[in-house]
Chains A and B, each alone.
Chain A
């Protein structure tokens, strides 16, 4: 079954939007829970320590932003006008799947439509901490439910491969962002001499939060069987070949999808470069600042994969 280039574009992006919505939801959720475990005596700090989350999802410069918890949750979750917010991503995914209903199983559309109606009416309540987890859990669960529907009932055709590639590309991108910003901040803290004692106090809890926000905690623990330790966490999230949210795994899956696509050479080259680039950052995993820079670079390589997919599959015949 041939896949229209226009539909390939919509499905690829629907997958990216939905992955983004899911990942952001989990990130916001875990961030809130992390702070519950780390009460600060300083109310000012309590108010402003959400800023790094903005940097994960957006620009690095936002690390020092003056945004409060309310601002951050609003920007990342509730505000449909905000680029990349959960509300916007879900609406965009719905709009894309609405125009590709003939390609995907019917239940897939019902799921996204249902989620979209829920988000449209309830997302504003996520500003309230007591209701936040209800909204965010629903988004993450429905996103995974959709994956389940597709996995169990969709033909492994080009549309399926576009869906997979969109999912894994966004996931790889999000993992590098989380690792880049959060890990770099944490490691910088733990290596700064006079702050060392204090940072280390929370080290384990904080790394646990990073792992949780990527749904990786339990699998990390099973794979290392040791106490949580910074370098091994970063290595697990970047290089593990069997954990499905690691950057390496995501790139490998994209490569696997390309096996089923016609004339994938140009994209394969970009994927190989991203993978080689990723593996070459192994040496940086012990230093916060280096790691931060390395993740920026890997993100740009992932961006090139996106560009290669767009040129090869998504913009054929486009005026």
Chain B
């Protein structure tokens, strides 16, 4: 499905105003505006870092000036689904580290938890505030041939990309001021304020004006730009491990020119295993010795909570509909992609027999690495994939190939269809918040489904448009939440194009 155009090439109502503008200004002017945004991005220093041949390269953020448009009423449904999903996810994580009711009830298999590489025994018995572990999450969504939104995966550890949502909007406003004047496009700027509120709420009791620190692995991290951006927008300190110290009183301090100063909340952008050499990897130079002690003593809030990643692997994903039903007694409001779990013999056999129709994903890789798209793999690649699955079935899931929606994208001065995904960001604390839209990533190569910026993907501004001035709302497609994981039926594997998206630059 093309999100802008009907099959006959006429614009859909939501895209009509933009399409009309494109007609008026013509291809040269569109190209000129694209170039102007690229210049803006350079001057504003909006970058991401890629690793190549052992070197770190600070690259300009790849951006396509043609925005993506989603009608407001459709988005409202997605938002409800995401609120629901993250509420359930957090209850699930809290349960795993405490009573484990879901295992006792036989809904979630105990051996899966035992095998989980992201389960942290060090966190058992901890009760973070509000029962929330994953305060900041990014769920990757795709739309299929009829426009239905699916959650492709949840990123609960250190999801990145939100800074580009805000920066993309800033440059797009300059590119299409005439449309921002005329339409009701939901603003995205308030994210950092909302994040600030959630983080502040994690401060130890009694602290009125908490000091918040964003803990970054440093300048060589692919998401360093974002770490810095978020610190700027929140007025928080951007710290590296070496800036922090845990005192004998189990409180966290930073080294300032005035001496040690207390830190109340740490928004960490480094993985669990590097957080605290006393508890996790002893050779970590990125973390702070004693941080876990301080957290367990209630002297510092950490977001996301250590151990939150347990709900982030692709095996847990397969149980998500069951998890939502178990904790909330509700049906999922946003669909999961049907997922085959290779740990189960029957599902594994199905996968092995239908490799060429499925996308095979290792459970704990990010950035799109390790994924095999059946329909595009060579015979050798499929054989290797089958061997990898048999070698470690617990680590593999497979999903039917989804026919990803497309959006017109400026390629060499011409408008061409390219596949997109969407990563909204969800904040969960005492209350929850979903970004208006999110980060749209676009596969710039024709036919490609790999949208990761580290692998040649681009990005677009995402407009959630509430109808005024000629914008016709699109009819909401019939949502189908039927036949999710519990009733995994093998007939669902219509093979079309696919979805190979993954957590980006985490860590």
Picked from B228, B236, B238, B242, the residue with its CB within 8 Å of the CB of A319 is: B242
Q: Verify if A192 is at the interface (C-beta below 8 Å from B).
A: no
Q: Count chain A residues whose beta carbon lies closer than 8 angstroms to a beta carbon of B.
A: 26
Q: Are A98 and B45 in contact (CB under 8 A)?
A: yes
Q: Are B228 and A101 in contact (CB under 8 A)?
A: yes
Query: How close is A314's CB to chain B, nearest CB, in angstroms?
Result: 8
- A-chain residues with CB within 8 Å of residue B232 when the two chains form the complex: 101-102, 106
C-alpha spacing A316/B243, complex, angstroms: 9
C-alpha spacing A208/B314, complex, angstroms: 73
- A-chain residues with CB within 8 Å of residue B259 when the two chains form the complex: 262, 316
Residue of A nearest to B258 (CB): A262
Query: How close is A42's CB to chain B, nearest CB, in angstroms?
Result: 47
A-B contact count (CB 8 A): 74
Q: Verify if B385 is at the interface (C-beta below 8 Å from A).
A: no
Query: How close is A124's CB to chain B, nearest CB, in angstroms?
Result: 19
Q: Verify if A40 is at the interface (C-beta below 8 Å from B).
A: no
Q: Verify if B42 is at the interface (C-beta below 8 Å from A).
A: yes
Q: Are B243 and A117 in contact (CB under 8 A)?
A: no
Q: Are A318 and B242 in contact (CB under 8 A)?
A: yes
- A-chain residues with CB within 8 Å of residue B281 when the two chains form the complex: none
Q: Verify if B331 is at the interface (C-beta below 8 Å from A).
A: no
- B-chain residues with CB within 8 Å of residue A158 when the two chains form the complex: 256-258
C-alpha spacing A319/B244, complex, angstroms: 12
C-alpha spacing A101/B233, complex, angstroms: 10
Q: Are B255 and A4 in contact (CB under 8 A)?
A: yes
Q: Verify if B66 is at the interface (C-beta below 8 Å from A).
A: no
Q: Are B239 and A4 in contact (CB under 8 A)?
A: yes
Knowing A110-B43, A319-B242 touch, does A99 contact B228 (C-beta < 8 A)?
yes
Knowing A99-B219, A117-B42 touch, does A316 contact B228 (C-beta < 8 A)?
no
Knowing A101-B232, A317-B245, A318-B242 touch, does A110 contact B45 (C-beta < 8 A)?
yes
Q: Mark A301-319, 1 if CB is under 8 A from B, else 0.
A: 0000000000001001111
Residues of B36-52 whose CB lies within 8 A of A: 42-45
Q: Are B45 and A3 in contact (CB under 8 A)?
A: no
- A-chain residues with CB within 8 Å of residue B229 when the two chains form the complex: 101
- A-chain residues with CB within 8 Å of residue B265 when the two chains form the complex: none
Query: How close is B243's CB to chain A, nearest CB, in angstroms?
Result: 5
Q: Verify if A232 is at the interface (C-beta below 8 Å from B).
A: no
Q: Count chain B residues whose beta carbon lies closer than 8 angstroms to a beta carbon of A.
A: 26
- B-chain residues with CB within 8 Å of residue A215 when the two chains form the complex: none
Q: Are B256 and A316 in contact (CB under 8 A)?
A: yes
Residues of B127-186 whose CB lies within 8 A of A: none
Query: How close is A111's CB to chain B, nearest CB, in angstroms?
Result: 9
C-alpha spacing A31/B243, complex, angstroms: 44
Q: Are B255 and A316 in contact (CB under 8 A)?
A: yes
Residue of B nearest to A261 (CB): B257
Q: Are A2 and B43 in contact (CB under 8 A)?
A: no
Picked from B228, B231, B243, the residue with its CB within 8 Å of the CB of A6 is: B243
Q: Are A2 and B219 in contact (CB under 8 A)?
A: no
Q: Verify if B240 is at the interface (C-beta below 8 Å from A).
A: yes
Residue of A nearest to B44 (CB): A110
Q: Are B43 and A102 in contact (CB under 8 A)?
A: no
Picked from A2, A101, A102, A109, the residue with its CB within 8 Å of the CB of B258 is: A2
Identify which of B211, B236, B239, B256 gathers the most chain A CB atoms within 10 Å of its CB: B256
Identify which of A6, A114, A262 gathers the most chain B CB atoms within 10 Å of its CB: A6
- B-chain residues with CB within 8 Å of residue A106 when the two chains form the complex: 232
Q: Are B257 and A262 in contact (CB under 8 A)?
A: yes
Q: Verify if B73 is at the interface (C-beta below 8 Å from A).
A: no
C-alpha spacing A5/B257, complex, angstroms: 5
Picked from A8, A102, A113, the residue with its CB within 8 Å of the CB of B45 is: A113
Q: Mark A1-13, 1 if CB is under 8 A from B, else 0.
A: 1111110100000
Picked from B42, B43, B211, B256, the residue with its CB within 8 Å of the CB of A3 is: B256
- B-chain residues with CB within 8 Å of residue A261 when the two chains form the complex: 257
- A-chain residues with CB within 8 Å of residue B256 when the two chains form the complex: 2-5, 158, 316
C-alpha spacing A72/B245, complex, angstroms: 47
- B-chain residues with CB within 8 Å of residue A317 when the two chains form the complex: 242-243, 245, 255
Query: How close is B40's CB to chain A, nearest CB, in angstroms?
Result: 10
Q: Are B45 and A109 in contact (CB under 8 A)?
A: yes
Residue of A nearest to B232 (CB): A102
Residue of A nearest to B256 (CB): A2
Q: Verify if B122 is at the interface (C-beta below 8 Å from A).
A: no
Q: Verify if B467 is at the interface (C-beta below 8 Å from A).
A: no
C-alpha spacing A319/B245, complex, angstroms: 12
- B-chain residues with CB within 8 Å of residue A5 when the two chains form the complex: 243, 255-257
Query: How close is A182's CB to chain B, nearest CB, in angstroms?
Result: 36
Q: Verify if B254 is at the interface (C-beta below 8 Å from A).
A: yes
Q: Are B240 and A6 in contact (CB under 8 A)?
A: yes
Q: Verify if B365 is at the interface (C-beta below 8 Å from A).
A: no
- A-chain residues with CB within 8 Å of residue B236 when the two chains form the complex: 102
C-alpha spacing A113/B44, complex, angstroms: 7
Beyond contacts A8-B257, A101-B229, A317-B243: 4 other A-B pairs, Cβ-Cβ < 8 A, are A6-B242, A99-B219, A110-B45, A158-B256
16 chain-A/chain-B pairs, Cβ below 8 angstroms = A2-B211, A2-B237, A3-B256, A4-B256, A5-B256, A6-B242, A101-B232, A102-B236, A110-B44, A110-B45, A113-B45, A114-B43, A158-B258, A316-B257, A317-B255, A318-B242
- List residues of B whose CB falls within 8 A of some A CB: 42-45, 211, 219, 228-229, 231-232, 235-240, 242-243, 245, 254-259, 261
- List residues of A whose CB falls within 8 A of some B CB: 1-6, 8, 98-99, 101-102, 106, 109-110, 113-114, 117, 158, 162, 261-262, 313, 316-319
Closest 10 CB pairs of A and B: A317-B255, A102-B231, A2-B256, A113-B45, A102-B232, A262-B258, A313-B257, A316-B255, A2-B261, A5-B255
